[in-house]
Homo-oligomer: A and B are copies of this chain.
């Protein structure tokens, strides 16, 4: 990785000479100051592309003790929703005039710790973290105490004194379940997800709330946990059908779970969307494109990204607040 020992770099001083001003003036132009005359600004800008100057952010960041780097620590980039979220965040951050540094913890808390330790060395301006399972509140809090603005997304770490932006999981599954109830279904299952995931409880209770309001007795048989991948969804569906072959609808923990469920429904000779209605959670792009198109709870990744950036913009020490992002029911062919 020998970088060809970049000869002699072009600096603000070279630009200044070329433009016939001082390096301070060049700096002012570079930082977008309003207290520099248009004449000077134009001369500097011309000089910059005449001699091919490139700004050195290391020097700037060192001297100013600021940076425009925002770290995004994602739990699992291979998960389609995470990827969508990362892309949304990246775009939004760039719109703020900042630059994002995206890394993947792979749901591994040690990796996450090591990544963040490294990122601190780069003097990042803020951390956006989707916490890996097992993240301790102390860890987050110490990060905050060190002076870094931190926002958690998607998952809550109870005890962590940070702002957290996440979808309204409870409202989402409640909405999904009530949608099924409104269609006249009464035997409704809830499948996928498991207790180690912080949002599982919220989504499950949205379902039970809706069922309770409809005065339908809660049946434990109809709630089956699973891994959060496609296989998990298929297995959970199989388990439900084994004990309750007469269910009319299934509310899934996520779209991916729904994909698996649909596969098993088909395999068992029934038609998803006709014999058994299915609804997911997330609204992945595939859900719209697949057939039958999946009904689901839409969680707008861009909206989350916008909220995160707003929080970041007005962060104060110890602002521990929870920002719920609204969700929407999307009715498609599957239920």
Contacts and interface: CB of A to CB of B under 8 A. Distances in A.
B125 A285 contact: no
A148 B3 contact: yes
Nearest to A59: B62
A173 B61 CA distance: 49
A291 interface: yes
Nearest to A123: B58
A101 B101 contact: yes
Nearest to A122: B57
Interface of A: 1-7, 9, 54-59, 61-62, 65-67, 77-78, 80, 83-84, 86-87, 90, 96, 98-104, 106, 118, 120-123, 125-126, 146-149, 229-231, 234, 259-260, 263-264, 266-267, 285-286, 289-291, 312-313, 315, 317
Contacts of A84: 78
A187 to B, nearest CB: 24
A56 B124 CA distance: 11
A267 B291 contact: yes
Contacts of A231: 289
Contacts of A266: 291
A104 B121 contact: no
Contacts of A260: 289
How many copies of this chain sit in the oligomeric assembly? 2
A55 to B, nearest CB: 5
Contacts of A313: 1
Contacts of A121: 54-57
A1 B149 CA distance: 8
A126 to B, nearest CB: 6
Contacts of A65: 5-6, 9
B57 A312 contact: no
A230 to B, nearest CB: 4
B230 A290 contact: yes
Given A98-B1, A234-B291, A90 B103 contact: yes
20 contacts: A56-B121, A56-B123, A58-B58, A58-B67, A77-B83, A78-B83, A78-B285, A86-B104, A90-B103, A90-B104, A100-B103, A101-B101, A101-B102, A102-B102, A102-B104, A229-B285, A229-B289, A263-B290, A263-B291, A264-B291
A55 B121 CA distance: 5
